Copies of this chain bind each other. A is one copy, B any other.
């Protein structure tokens, strides 16, 4: 235990954890089309420019812009249409002065053209429904050089950095990569997260509890948050409150995973046992025991080698909020994500006072409702043992460290659940 602080503010606690999470997991190659939510392992550059040829942005005529200068409704320019560039075909036609070529939106324009006149700005002199070139048109409005033309590389230039390492791939990123023919992409392997529940009272959800027993909740809320962050949850069982059993289970669970989470029970003796187990697992061990938040103060944050190890409070609300605060960022860090994904926030008017203590960050579950007066946030009060306070909430209201509470009627920021 190289550094031990009794209670740290959450931001400092997370920084302390991050200082010990220096290693990123190994990379693997996957199909780009299946890489949604995965994290890039390297900087990706453009193998060629996009577009690779000059494209029209309108249905109309490719022209020499100079041939249209001065054109107007009353004094149109006269051009001869000499052909058409079909979609998906090269524009082989060479344009002579005074000539125009039919082009379609997205189609290639001839090398000798430098602008496109939209069809709406033209008039066919001999009106037939489908004239065949050659025929003559009047240009009713001038175009400038480059007008209605996408230039080579206007989307992205060859060799440009298109995505940095540590980037979480979104739908548009997949589209951007595939547009360049990047059909495979190097991403970081998904972190495998071992989840242990501890407690003599805890039984699997498919069993019927006897008096004094409760079903495991935390394994499943932690597994859900793990999946949302791109990790693979490995449910590693329910362990009784026994040092040797927990130490053995933790060691085995950590051996073939990248991170370990123990839902550590809420009694002081069980928490102390978890601290000792983490220290036994290897260096540096427990980094801190206690975070200045409510709920969740007795959270244990540790690292074994380069693997994060967390001891969560047994209360389901505390466990979930603390895992979101430390476990989720750790999963992103293991994938090389440097800037954590921005969380969705909404502003809403608070319907009731919230008391808090200065020097502590409070998180209060809140339900949102759309009303004539705008969005309202109603705190869902309840002890941190009550999972349904989270089920009945849409997000969390944060009361900052230095505030003594929030007043009814105040506008507050509600951090949305994913």
A contact residues vs B (CB 8 Å cutoff): 32-33, 36, 50-53, 55, 57, 59, 85-91, 104-108, 150, 154-156, 162-163, 170-176, 178-183, 199-202, 205-218, 220-225, 227-228, 241, 265-269, 314, 316, 320, 342-347, 368, 382-383, 385-388, 390-391, 394, 416-418
Write the nearest CB–CB distance from A30 to chain B, whole angstroms.
14
Give Cα A208–Cα B314 distance, bound, in whole angstroms. Answer: 56
Q: Is the CB of B394 within 8 A of A342?
A: yes
Given A179-B387, A316-B175, verify A87-B201 contact (CB < 8 Å). yes
Asked whether, in the complex, the Cβ of A211 is within 8 Å of the Cβ of B57, the reply is: no
* Beyond A154-B382, A155-B388, 14 additional pairs, beta carbon < 8 A: A33-B220, A53-B212, A87-B212, A88-B201, A91-B212, A150-B383, A171-B228, A174-B220, A178-B217, A178-B220, A179-B387, A181-B205, A344-B345, A347-B347
Complex: how many Å from CA A104 to CA B256? Answer: 33
> How many identical chains are in the complex?
2
Nearest B-chain residue to A414, judged by Cβ: B342
A212 near B387 with CB under 8 A, answer: no
User: By the criterion CB–CB under 8 Å, are B212 and A90 in contact?
Assistant: yes
CB-defined contacts of A180 to chain B, threshold 8 Å:
215
Q: Are B176 and A391 in contact (CB under 8 A)?
A: yes
Interchain CB contact (< 8 A) of A227 among B36, B105, B107, B222: B36
A382 partner residues in chain B, CB cutoff 8 A: 154-155
In the complex, A213→B104 CA distance in Å?
Answer: 13
A142–B100 CA distance with the chains assembled, in angstroms: 95
Distance A210 CA – B88 CA, assembled complex (angstroms): 8
A172 touches B383 (CB 8 A): no
The distance in angstroms between the C-alpha atoms of A227 and B36, with both chains bound, is 9
Decide: A391 near B55, CB < 8 A? Known: A170-B417, A175-B220: no
CA distance A268 to B180 in the complex (A): 27
User: Given A87-B201, A205-B183, A221-B172 in contact, is the A385-B214 Cβ separation under 8 Å?
Assistant: no
Q: Are A206 and B220 within 8 A (Cβ)?
A: no
Whole-angstrom distance between the alpha carbons of A320 and B171 in the complex? 9
- Which residue on B lies nearest to A85, using beta carbons? B212
Which residue of chain B has its CB nearest to the CB of A389? B155
Distance A344 CA – B341 CA, assembled complex (angstroms): 11
